[in-house]
Amino acid sequence: MEEKIQIGIIICDRYRSCAGGKCFRSLRNRQGAFSRYRSVPVEVVGYTTCAGCPGGNVEYAVEEMKKNGATVIHLATGLIVGYPPCPHLTYFREFIAKRYEIEVVYGTHPIPQKYLLMHKSLGTWSGPGWEEITRETQTDEKTRLLYD
């Protein structure tokens, strides 16, 4: 039997009241950034916000998630699709990976179609690094529409 992947999810504090519906649905369906776990058992061991800019909770939450067994941290899609996207996103990834020696993945659920269209219109994701940041959450249009 394959070893279970234990993940922690960090969401943007702007969405602190989010119950995680899109994240948990995409995990269950192995869509978006969770498609990497298509045939692997997964358990969520932590779900929290960054605590608002500049992300003070990131320093402490990951430590707790690791104590709970986390082997991968997902920076939620909301950090990518918000208006504006999180200005600390790449720093969070670098800090978490270096400080906690843990894999950090950009995104959770697929980018909803309405967000993709607006950000393309705004040119938000045309700069350096955005292809990597959005890669795992850019699914086909049919799937993106399911997350609108």
Of 83, 67, 65, 91, the closest CA to residue 10 belongs to 65
pLDDT tens digits, one per residue of 44-98: 999 999 999 999 999 999 999 999 999 999 999 999 999 999 999 999 999 999 9
Q: Residue 125: give its domain's CATH number.
A: 3.40.50
> pTM above the 0.75 mark?
yes
What is the pLDDT at residue 12? 97
What is the pLDDT at residue 3? 86
Is residue 1 scored above 60 in pLDDT?
no
Say if CB 69 and CB 37 are below 8 A apart: no
The residue segments making up the domain with residue 100 are 5-146
> 23-32 as b/e, with b when 16 or more CB fall inside 10 Å?
bbbbbeeebb
Q: How many domains are contained in the chain? A: 1
